Amino acid sequence: MYEKKIPELHCGISIFMKVLGGKWKAWIIECIHDDIRRPSEIHREMEVNGASMRVITMHLKELEDLGILYKKVYAGIPLKVEYYLTEVGLSTLPLIKAMDQWGKKNQALLTKDENKAVLADN
């Protein structure tokens, strides 16, 4: 398995980035909170924006290893897997909500077309 060569810092921001720093992790947590629990359902929700099933599966495993999610496996053929938020996972929801609100508030200022217009006016 691949091991990162960059040493890990043990500060709050480093830990935060480990949990929510992936491109799709915050959205995966939000999907699970919104009762989209199966990996294939999460992928359907996110594939419009280019998330591959491989990357989603990787992020789900990382979040499970960190204790943000837990996986429930149902017996049967085919095997059914669902993900749920742990208590720590639930504690990330206010952070994700704040990021969403900030993004919506600043979206117009941060889009490329808007930035060109602002720079042209100055």
Answer yes or no: are the C-beta atoms of 63 and 25 closer than 8 Å: yes
Residue 10 contacts by C-beta under 8 Å, 6 or more apart in sequence?
none
Report pLDDT digits (tens) over 5-37: 656 667 788 888 888 888 899 999 999 999 998
Question: How far is residue 70 from each of residues 13, 30, 41, measured CA to CA in Å?
Answer: 23, 15, 16
CA dihedral of 101, 96, 84, 63, whole degrees rounded to 10:
150
Report pLDDT digits (tens) over 47-103: 878 888 899 999 999 999 999 999 999 988 888 999 999 999 999 999 999 999 998
The total of other beta-carbon atoms located within 10 Å of residue 118's CB is 11
